[in-house]
Amino acid sequence: MSSLPWRKSSFSTGDAPNCVELAADATGTPHLRESDDPEVVIATTPAALRAFLRAAKAGAFDQPGC
């Protein structure tokens, strides 16, 4: 997975090790990882990633326990 072209979130600043990174493989499958634990990689589908991002932008995860 380290050969993937990882991109850091535009909301991340500097070299802090607590950033979400995203990459797509040759088939277009999105992969996510946290920069402080780069060996743990989550693969998902484009549709699931879009749904997650929509929910996050809508604030669905802003309240603890939801």
Q: So what's the pLDDT on residue 55?
A: 95
pLDDT for res 6? 93
**pLDDT number for residue 44:** 97
Tell me how far apart the alpha carbons of residues 8 and 11 are, in angstroms, rounded to a whole number: 8
Please indicate, yes or no, if residue 65 is contained in any of the structural domains: no
Domain annotation covers residue 2: no
**What is d(CA 10, CA 51) in angstroms, rounded to the nearest whole number?**
19
Answer whether residue 13 is part of any domain.
yes
Q: Residue 35: give the domain boundaries.
A: 7-57
Q: Say if 62 falls within a structural domain.
A: no
Domain membership flag for residue 26 = yes
pLDDT in tens, 11-66: 777 666 678 899 999 999 999 998 888 899 999 999 999 999 999 999 999 887 65
Task: Output the pLDDT for position 24.
Answer: 96
Please tell me the total count of domains within the chain. 1
pLDDT score of 8 more than 90: no
